[in-house]
Structure 1
Amino acid sequence: MFVLTVDQRDSRNDVDRVAPLLADLADRALLRPFERTAGDEVQAVADDPAAVVDVALDLVRRGHWSIGIGIGEVEQPLPDQTRAGRGPAFEAARAAVDRAKKAPGAVAVEAPNADTALDADTALTLIALVIARRSPQGQAAVDLMERGLTQSEAATELGISKQAVSQRLAAAGWHADGPGRRLATRLLERADR
């Protein structure tokens, strides 16, 4: 089981970003949806490692968030409210978010098996760094590719040449994005065994 604990960075000097985030993430495939737990922190429960990777990297892309992923058992049955949950995965998520606040990719993973947690943490950090360093133009090109457009269609949409789209995608690390997500998903799945 996966618990995501997400904390807004520098919230004392910024607007409260929790309410818009909760609205944006409401339709995600999670066992228990994101819910404000305290102040500028939200928490969710998931059983699908691919959904965890997608949410974590979406949060990285948005900036403003430290993302902790805890892996392990949760007390069953899960309560209706995420914040009422208990168990080792919740404790691991707390430790992970505290570590994520100082991590280069703003994401951290904690699990009972330290080696598999470290592998998943490393994979997520690497792809998070790629995503965090994208220019707005590179992200716009990636967004169009993720919607299923061809490079030619993306070029038309962006009003640039196909070669310029290709250059933006290369600079954005787009070709590493899919494989990186798949690797992180496999490693999270392994850490959850």
Structure 2
Amino acid sequence: MWALHARYRGRDTRRAELVKRFAEALSTLEGAGQFEVIGVEDIRAHITSPLTTCDVVMALLAAGDWAIGIGVIPTVDGTVDESDEAIIEQVKKISSDALRPTAKAGTVKVRIAGTKRDNTQAFNISAAFTLIGQVLSKRTIEGREATALVRSGLNQNEAAQELGISKQAMSQRLQAAGWQAESAGWQLAVNLIEQAGKR
């Protein structure tokens, strides 16, 4: 089982409203529990799949103003009884413990139950997201539009039509946006998070 705790580190003057909107939007993702708002800047939820965990982290990294903590409780087959409130609260606490009070925007820290704090698996997951975050931070508005369309399931031709550009221009936008690096990094992160969830 996985959980995620994120803290808003941006400068928006209406941060409480922004944080609440993020919590509501992320709660709609399949596999994400209800994101609770903690205080003014923090949101937290348990998550039922490595895929959804990565999708939530990617959304927060793309926004650019969030520090993120991921908590993991490994199980024999990677699944947990979702009705077990004690385990859900435990994994949420682990995600909160992973997130240091002084964490900066764009950082992703991971803590895995039953392991040492300097766990290699946790470090590898954090490193994968650091690399993905670097790609996302260099992206232009056009690159964000192009990658968002492809990530939503459109092929390059469909995405190009949606944007009113040629297939060649779409291909160039995706290349400049680091789409291949993002895709590879995302798959790596999913694999690492899935492995961390199994004993």
Q: Same fold (TM over 0.5)?
A: yes
What CA distance in whole angstroms lies between the structure 1 residues aligned with 2:102 and 2:184?
23
Percentage of pairs with the same residue: 34
What CA distance in whole angstroms lies between the structure 2 residues aligned with 1:47 and 1:148?
22
1:25-65 per-residue CA deviation (whole Å, 9 max, x = no partner) reads 22223363111122211100013111100111111112221
1:155-193 per-residue CA deviation (whole Å, 9 max, x = no partner) reads 232222222211110011111222211110111122222
1:97-136 alignment, distance < 5 Å: 97-98=99-100, 101-102=103-104, 105-111=106-112, 112=115, 114-136=119-141
Counterpart in 2 of 1:4?
4
- Of residues 40-49 and 154-163 in structure 1, the stretch that sits farther from structure 2 once superposed is 154-163
CA contact (8 A) 1:100 1:108 kept: no
How has the CA–CA distance of structure 1 residues 149 and 85 changed in structure 2, closer, same or farther, with 3 Å as cutoff?
closer
1:102-148 per-residue CA deviation (whole Å, 9 max, x = no partner) reads 37x32221222501111111112211221222111001111221233
Q: What 5-or-longer segments of structure 1 have no aligned partner?
A: none
What CA distance in whole angstroms lies between the structure 1 residues aligned with 2:11 and 2:109?
19
Counterpart in 1 of 2:70?
69
TM-score, length basis structure 2: 0.81
1:68-87 alignment, distance < 5 Å: 68-72=69-73, 77-78=84-85, 86-87=89-90
What CA distance in whole angstroms lies between the structure 1 residues aligned with 2:109 and 2:123?
9
Letter in 1 for 2:176: A
Counterpart in 2 of 1:156?
161
How has the CA–CA distance of structure 1 residues 154 and 85 changed in structure 2, closer, same or farther, with 3 Å as cutoff?
closer
What CA distance in whole angstroms lies between the structure 2 residues aligned with 1:46 and 1:154?
30
TM-score, length basis structure 1: 0.83
Q: What 5-or-longer segments of structure 2 have no aligned partner?
A: 75-79
Find 1:166's aligned residue among 162, 171, 193.
171
1:65-109 per-residue CA deviation (whole Å, 9 max, x = no partner) reads 1111111279x8216xxxx9532x334322322278237x32221
What CA distance in whole angstroms lies between the structure 1 residues aligned with 2:152 and 2:12?
35
1:15-26 alignment, distance < 5 Å: 15-16=15-16, 17-26=18-27
Aligned residues: 187
What CA distance in whole angstroms lies between the structure 2 residues aligned with 1:99 and 1:47?
25
- Of residues 175-184 and 149-158 in structure 1, the stretch that sits farther from structure 2 once superposed is 149-158
What CA distance in whole angstroms lies between the structure 1 residues aligned with 2:92 and 2:102?
15
CA contact (8 A) 2:66 2:104 kept: no
What CA distance in whole angstroms lies between the structure 2 residues aligned with 1:143 and 1:149?
9
What CA distance in whole angstroms lies between the structure 2 residues aligned with 1:3 and 1:48?
10
How has the CA–CA distance of structure 1 residues 86 and 15 changed in structure 2, closer, same or farther, with 3 Å as cutoff?
closer
User: Helix, strand or coil: the match of 2:85?
Assistant: coil
- Of residues 5-14 and 40-49 in structure 1, the stretch that sits farther from structure 2 once superposed is 5-14
User: Helix, strand or coil: the match of 1:86?
Assistant: helix
What CA distance in whole angstroms lies between the structure 2 residues aligned with 1:67 and 1:35?
15
